[in-house]
Structure 1
Amino acid sequence: MPNTIQSYLSDLKGKTVAVIGIGVSNTPLIKLLLRAGIKVTACDKARRADFGGLAEELESLGAELRLGPDYLKGIDQDVIFRTPGLRPDVPELLEAQARGSVITSEMEVFFQVCPCHLLAVTGSDGKTTTTTIIAGLLKEAGYHTFLGGNIGHPLLPDVADMEPDDWAVLELSSFQLMTMDRSPEIAVVTNLAPNHLDVHKSMEEYIDAKKNIFLHQGQGGKLVLNFDNEITRSFAPLARGQVIPFSRREALSQGVFVRDGAIWSATAEGEREVLPLDGILLPGLHNVENYMAAIAAVEGLVPDDLIRRFAASFQGVAHRIELVRTLDGVRYYNDSIASSPSRTIAGLNSFQEKVILIAGGYDKHIPFDVLGPEVIAHVKQLLLTGDTADKICDAVRGCPGYQGQPPISIYEDLEAAVQAAHSMAQPGDVVLLSPACASFDRYKNFAERGETFKKYVYGLD
């Protein structure tokens, strides 16, 4: 099996290749294959008009485009790259596989040919921030570091620039992990809660996909697990290598934990204080957990003083409790990344005061029951919009502790909800967009939703 990008591309010459999905992760892959002289059919359910000049650009490089509702019909190329959002067991892929097609993905090939150290992060919440912190720490420590994966940057086109001592730091989704048969040198699982049940057949399938981040490690592998989460804690006996737990709730004889207002690390050499909690610029207990996971992952690679300097200045990632604006004493925060109830609960717990919460969006078939008590405890006004507005409303009103507080209002769209929040907010209030749902009912992704929210907030006067 080819183990360098050059040998892999050479092996593809003379074969036909299909790439399913002309999006952020696969467009650079398509261009890489075309420039290597490989015949590529680029497939996407979107129509030609949706791609603007990209369709012409890919055709000028030699791609054949198959677009629209029948984009999978008769797919039979020798090698088929699956987009992460497409289940591997759709009938068209199974039929192609039965005829001899090899089904793979950009990430699977990257793991096959990556020449440097691999560190990967998955989980239901906190993946992007934890991945970004880890990459930042390694970079500050002097390592040549590549950041990519589900975070939005494909790394396969960067392989030629990687050296053995470099680090590739990846965020991996359950969809990317479903068919993975390799695991990184260091694996991190931040937490697990119900998510993506609109695509996964069950919670069990979702959990099993996440396990692939570590199941293929050898004895030299390292697995970082959240021991406060019952599901991720249960992964420990399955690990072949070293398990490094982290816990905010209990002191650990080995691992990373919180004590006396600081994050501590316990190793075979003893205990040491690594990072005071008041030295973390990012708000919220969930960001304490993100730093704990990162500290466990870079143990032995990054000095503690560098971790402290980094935490004091790192302002976070866009769309993750991002302060947009302070207007008339009211702070407006964009937490559009919160596409599940557990993520919104973490956002609510980041503020000492009760917030004006804007929530609702695409229905991923995740129960909202857990959201009810947290909304009652942390929200002064609940403003709902999107496809799930009625479901969230019913979940809160049906909560045993609900006695009419907070008041709940439903709005036609996000703009109307922002205007309503502005009208009711008083100096000292916090307005928080934290939808508890995906964005696909109105927007192409969470980033577009967040940017739209920011536009509306900047337009207030």
Structure 2
Amino acid sequence: MEKALVIGAARSGKAAAKLLRKAGYDVVLTDMKAIDRQGLEGIQVFDEGHPDSLKDDEYALIVKNPGIPYTAPFVRYFVERGNPIYTEIETAYRLAPGFRYGAITGTDGKTTVTTLLFEMLKKKDQAAQVAGNIGVPLSEIVLEHGHENLDVALELSNFQLLGTERFHPVVSTVTNLAPDHLDYMDSLASYYRSKMKIYANCQSDDWFIRNVDDPEIMRYACDIPCTVIDFSLTRTDVDLYKANGAAWLGDLKLFDVADLKIVGDFNCGNAMMAACMAYKLGVSIADIQEVIRSFHGVEHRIEFVREWNGVRIYNDTKATNTHAACAALSAFDQNVILLCGGKDKHISFEDLKQYDDKVKHCFSFGETKARFQDVFSRQTSVETMEEAFGQAIQIAEPGDVILLSPACSSFDQFKNYEVRGEIFKGIVQAFGKD
């Protein structure tokens, strides 16, 4: 029996371990933290550290949690030994030959495109699935449905793409490129290059949607082995474009822009990408348009929370970098009271300065709170997000927008961005109800 090593026992690691066990491997699962062994019967578990004895074995397959850097000593040992290190995406892909993928990566907009695509695929077939960086390990889907022929909307981080070798989507896109994850990657160029692995194994009749408005994509998206669908929000001399109040794929009208419920021009672009991907995967134009009319957005991405005394309050906790925060700020006209801050990812906040006139006041919190003093001319540093909201609501007037758009990751004060968003919504909903 061939042996497989899974490093990292978070949700995706456990799913990969169980899938490999089902596929007939002798599986070893190890983590630096304690592992709940429920459901891991038949799997060798080593927790609260990686024993050196694990280095003595030969493994047919090594799978790493995408959040663990390749520079971690235990992982680095196998890299230096010449072992390929995969993520559970690659593992699951190999064990589900009947799945067809619409794959989405990029710095921002991934979740919106993925969710829209999933809603469209469900119109074609209720059995369609969504997985990946959106929160559901692909291995979990394959454990249950690996023998079926299914369409899957798959969101991929660059961490997940780094560990792929054969992964092959039918249609894919890189939504945009902006500085991010410089606390993990060794350079900005390596981060951008890692995104391009999404089309590396594609064939001539597959599609790659290329955002020609993004100069970094145009710089890094090269040697594309499949059909390129050029996309633009500003040009009409491309394949996927906007004209006369509608989104078009060549001469085919995909949907009327006025039917979109999600705010911001960038969200129109997200919808156009999703519609194009759905069309390639066989969804009818009527079904695409029905989803466009009914879709109200993704939780935690410019999510309307509440109106209080004429003040609209939005949760954009998913904006974990400046590019995403800029996109959120661009969706509003004026009088934005911005709540931002969090863990320092060592990226510049310079892009935010262009919205100084639009930001009525910035209340920054967390590890990076002081870094916003040089960004906005009207700025106050506080310790916590709750303090930031408390001060924002005191100065807010009818017509103002209070926007949580942190431009930073959450890990200084919260488990993840979702927890940050849930806590924020709780604070907002409880305000004034004592």
The normalised TM-score by structure 2 is 0.91
Pair 73,362 (structure 1): closer, same or farther in 2 beyond 3 Å: farther
Given that 2:16 and 2:92 are in contact with CA atoms closer than 8 Å, whether structure 1 keeps it comes out as no
Equivalent position to 1:321, from 302, 305, 327: 302
**Alpha-carbon displacement from aligned partner over 1:63-100 (angstroms, at most 9, x marks no partner):** 42322xx4475542524320101223544324235557
**Alpha-carbon displacement from aligned partner over 1:285-310 (angstroms, at most 9, x marks no partner):** 11101011112222352222222221
Equivalent position to 2:117, from 130, 134, 157: 134
The residue correspondences of 1:396-435 to structure 2 (distance < 5 A) are 396-397=375-376, 404=377, 407-435=378-406
2:65 is matched with: 83
| 1:453 aligns to 2:434 (yes or no) | no
2:246 is matched with: 262
| 1:28 aligns to 2:15 (yes or no) | yes
Given that 1:33 and 1:40 are in contact with CA atoms closer than 8 Å, whether structure 2 keeps it comes out as yes
> RMSD across aligned C-alpha pairs, in angstroms?
2.3
1:185 is matched with: 170
For residues 51 and 243 of structure 2, the distance between their equivalents in structure 1, rounded to whole angstroms, comes to 54
**Alpha-carbon displacement from aligned partner over 1:178-230 (angstroms, at most 9, x marks no partner):** 13222322111111111111100101100111110012212222101111101
1:218 is matched with: 203
1:169 is matched with: 153
2:93 is matched with: 111
Given that 2:104 and 2:154 are in contact with CA atoms closer than 8 Å, whether structure 1 keeps it comes out as yes
| 1:279 aligns to 2:255 (yes or no) | no
For residues 158 and 177 of structure 2, the distance between their equivalents in structure 1, rounded to whole angstroms, comes to 11
Moved more, 237-246 or 190-199: 237-246
**Alpha-carbon displacement from aligned partner over 1:139-196 (angstroms, at most 9, x marks no partner):** 1123631110111101223225246642122101011111322232211111111111
Pair 458,280 (structure 1): closer, same or farther in 2 beyond 3 Å: same
Q: Gapped runs of 5+ residues in structure 1?
A: 1-12, 49-53, 398-403
For residues 359 and 245 of structure 2, the distance between their equivalents in structure 1, rounded to whole angstroms, comes to 27
For residues 337 and 72 of structure 1, the distance between their equivalents in structure 2, rounded to whole angstroms, comes to 36
Equivalent position to 1:294, from 259, 274, 279: 274
Amino acid at match of 1:228: D
Amino acid at match of 2:131: G
Q: Gapped runs of 5+ residues in structure 2?
A: none
For residues 164 and 38 of structure 1, the distance between their equivalents in structure 2, rounded to whole angstroms, comes to 21
For residues 106 and 56 of structure 1, the distance between their equivalents in structure 2, rounded to whole angstroms, comes to 19
What secondary structure, in the 3-state scheme, does the structure 2 residue paired with 1:294 have? Answer: helix
The normalised TM-score by structure 1 is 0.86
Amino acid at match of 1:264: W
Given that 2:131 and 2:141 are in contact with CA atoms closer than 8 Å, whether structure 1 keeps it comes out as no
Given that 1:339 and 1:438 are in contact with CA atoms closer than 8 Å, whether structure 2 keeps it comes out as yes
Superposition deviation, residue 109 in structure 1: 0.9
2:216 is matched with: 231
| 1:350 aligns to 2:331 (yes or no) | yes
What secondary structure, in the 3-state scheme, does the structure 2 residue paired with 1:257 have? Answer: strand
Pair 33,239 (structure 1): closer, same or farther in 2 beyond 3 Å: closer
Superposition deviation, residue 418 in structure 1: 1.2
1:249 is matched with: 234
The residue correspondences of 1:193-208 to structure 2 (distance < 5 A) are 193-208=178-193
Pair 62,232 (structure 1): closer, same or farther in 2 beyond 3 Å: closer
1:384 is matched with: 364
Given that 1:108 and 1:180 are in contact with CA atoms closer than 8 Å, whether structure 2 keeps it comes out as yes
What secondary structure, in the 3-state scheme, does the structure 2 residue paired with 1:201 have? Answer: coil
1:4 is matched with: none
Pair 206,351 (structure 1): closer, same or farther in 2 beyond 3 Å: same
For residues 366 and 225 of structure 1, the distance between their equivalents in structure 2, rounded to whole angstroms, comes to 25
Q: How many equivalent residue pairs? A: 425
What secondary structure, in the 3-state scheme, does the structure 2 residue paired with 1:136 have? Answer: helix
Superposition deviation, residue 336 in structure 1: 0.4
Superposition deviation, residue 251 in structure 1: 0.5
Amino acid at match of 1:220: D
For residues 395 and 52 of structure 2, the distance between their equivalents in structure 1, rounded to whole angstroms, comes to 52
**Alpha-carbon displacement from aligned partner over 1:227-276 (angstroms, at most 9, x marks no partner):** 11012233554211100111101102x4111112221221xxxx233222
1:147 is matched with: 130
What secondary structure, in the 3-state scheme, does the structure 2 residue paired with 1:436 have? Answer: coil
Pair 384,241 (structure 1): closer, same or farther in 2 beyond 3 Å: same
Amino acid at match of 2:363: L
What secondary structure, in the 3-state scheme, does the structure 1 residue paired with 2:334 have? Answer: coil
Given that 1:384 and 1:409 are in contact with CA atoms closer than 8 Å, whether structure 2 keeps it comes out as yes
Moved more, 339-348 or 227-236: 227-236
Pair 230,73 (structure 1): closer, same or farther in 2 beyond 3 Å: farther
For residues 72 and 134 of structure 1, the distance between their equivalents in structure 2, rounded to whole angstroms, comes to 43
Instruction: Give the % identical residues.
Output: 34
